Amino acid sequence: MKSLTKRMLSVIGIVAASSLALTSCGSSSATEEPAGGRTSYEGTTLRVLLKEGYEIEAIQEFKGEFEEATGITVELEVYDEPTARQKLVLDATSGTGTYDITSSSFWNLPEFVSAGWLEPLDPYIEKANDEWLVMDDIPTGAIESMTIDDELYALPHTIIGGMFFYRTDVFAELGLEAPQTTDDILAAAKVIKEKRPDLVPFSARGASTFASLGTELGWAYGYDALLFDENGNPQADSKQMNAAMDDFVTLMKDYGPSDAATLTFTQAGEKFSSGSAAMMFDTSGFGTIFEDPEQSKVAGKVGYTHPTGPSGKPLQWLYNEGLAITSKSKNKNAAWLFLQWRMSREVTMKEVTELSRTDVPNLYVLESQEYRDFMAERGLEDFAAALQTSWDLTTAEHWPFYPEFTAIGDSFSKEISNAITGSKSVSDALDTSQKELTQIMKDAGHIE
């Protein structure tokens, strides 16, 4: 298994490779498939397991074009992240091979690979069709974050940093400045609650599953709080973590929506895009949704900042997700054809121009004139600059790269959710998490 340090460096490499100030892309070194390769699997049915999110919209919208070009039928199943993981685990452990393709976040990859659930992609890359897949288009850091023990296991279709969103119209109305610190966020929340009671001041993920951990640990990073030390010892009950979670829970409990303790990725975003929330902290990827008039009621009224915490460090979010072939798939070659199509320049460009996605992980598209024109025509230069800053500020220092990530995330986020509901104090919640995390790490053999 790739070491923790190497995994962190690989993910950090995403930032350097994904800058909008890009150098020219080279040509692919991949060899073309045999003639007629696209229709070699006509009549095959692929079952694809996906985690919900904007990065899968291209698959949902354009898969008919793949089916027409190849004669392959594609059946999609889309779930929230915990459910999607559970579906894969059940399928993989039973050995049924129901799913041919699955989405995998970088944080689950160590678990999936160590369990033998994913197919190495390197043998397939050697016979890639460069009319669809140009490996040089994909940022090197993104590829490395999907690589374990020098084997690539997924093609990344999203790379994301952190971002704080706020309603520029509401802030102007109330005479508020763009939040630059966590103290600014708390102060703004108080003013909004007093002067605009029709609005929810703040929205973020609060559900009691590992999918919320990125928000909580990213917020904590601004307080110089880390969940583990360099030797894998839990630090959930540290002074810094208590300070960080006190502020975060205050925002969610006192200034968040009534269902703050159950908010998922999608639900938290809907609070903001619907116009009911004035501020939100999550991934930079939400900018694509918030600035799309067809998906958002606040398009053109969104501001972007990267606030720091008391330590002076910026709040974080870190995410990378890719498409993988399951090791039990009976249609691996057809599945590889689908992955190549999904990562093609044509599909990625349509993702920008037709679906208004602005943070695609494709260097060719990002440096194209079409992309620059798209951003300029829609007045998204500010978001483009904020996206650049988000990538520049991203670090993996706070991330727990362990195969037990899901158990770690479930334990910690469950306790923070309890604190948001008021069933536990922050201190008691973190004390419970400290005990649970210590046991998880001992059982896994990471600590004695």
For 337-389, how does the pLDDT look when each residue is reduced to its tens digit (9 = 90+)?
999 999 999 999 999 999 988 889 898 998 899 999 999 998 888 898 898 88
Confidence of residue 288 (pLDDT cuts 50, 70, 90): confident
The pLDDT value recorded for residue 314 is 97
Confidence of residue 47 (pLDDT cuts 50, 70, 90): very high
The pLDDT value recorded for residue 3 is 39
The pLDDT value recorded for residue 365 is 93
Q: Does residue 448 form part of some domain?
A: no
**Whether 42 and 149 share a structural domain:** yes
Instruction: Please give the residue range of the domain that contains residue 44.
Output: 4-160+319-391
**Whether 247 and 359 share a structural domain:** no
**Whether 266 and 364 share a structural domain:** no
Q: Which two tokens stand for residue 194?
A: 């007093």
The pLDDT tens digits of the residues spanning 202-219 come to: 999 999 999 999 999 999
Contact 412, 437 (CB under 8 A): yes
Confidence of residue 392 (pLDDT cuts 50, 70, 90): confident
CATH number at 9 reads: 3.40.190.10
Q: Measuring CA to CA, which residue among 156, 138, 123, 122 is closest to residue 28?
A: 138
The pLDDT value recorded for residue 258 is 98
Q: Which amino acid is at 182?
A: T
What is the tally of structural domains in the chain? 2
The pLDDT tens digits of the residues spanning 107-122 come to: 899 899 999 999 999 9
The pLDDT tens digits of the residues spanning 82-108 come to: 899 999 999 999 999 999 999 999 889
**Whether 156 and 33 share a structural domain:** yes
**Whether 331 and 306 share a structural domain:** no
* pLDDT-wise least confident of 4-13, 27-36, 54-63, 289-298: 27-36
Q: Does residue 350 form part of some domain?
A: yes
Confidence of residue 5 (pLDDT cuts 50, 70, 90): very low
Instruction: Indicate whether 54 pLDDT > 90.
Output: no
**Whether 256 and 300 share a structural domain:** yes
Q: Does residue 325 form part of some domain?
A: yes
Instruction: Indicate whether 35 pLDDT > 70.
Output: no
**Whether 294 and 256 share a structural domain:** yes
Q: Which two tokens stand for residue 319?
A: 């995410």
Contact 411, 226 (CB under 8 A): no
The pLDDT value recorded for residue 128 is 85
Q: Any idea which residue has 């694509």 for tokens? A: 288
Q: How much is the mean pLDDT over the chain? A: 90
Q: Does residue 200 form part of some domain?
A: yes
Terminal CA-CA length for the chain: 20
The rounded percent of the chain whose pLDDT value lies above 70 is: 92
Instruction: Indicate whether 156 pLDDT > 80.
Output: yes
Lay out the sheet containing 162-167: strands in order across: 200-203, 277-283, 162-167, 302-305
pTM of the model: 0.78
The pLDDT tens digits of the residues spanning 238-279 come to: 999 999 999 999 999 999 999 999 999 999 999 999 999 999
Tell me how far apart the alpha carbons of residues 175 and 311 are, in angstroms, rounded to a whole number: 27
**Whether 188 and 103 share a structural domain:** no
Instruction: Indicate whether 312 pLDDT > 70.
Output: yes
Q: Any idea which residue has 């990065």 for tokens? A: 55
**Whether 90 and 9 share a structural domain:** yes
Instruction: Indicate whether 21 pLDDT > 70.
Output: no
Instruction: Indicate whether 233 pLDDT > 60.
Output: yes
Instruction: Indicate whether 6 pLDDT > 80.
Output: no
The pLDDT value recorded for residue 37 is 66
The rounded percent of the chain whose pLDDT value lies above 90 is: 75
Q: Measuring CA to CA, which residue among 336, 392, 348, 315 is closest to residue 30?
A: 336
Contact 334, 38 (CB under 8 A): no
- CA 362, distance to chain mean position in Å, is 16
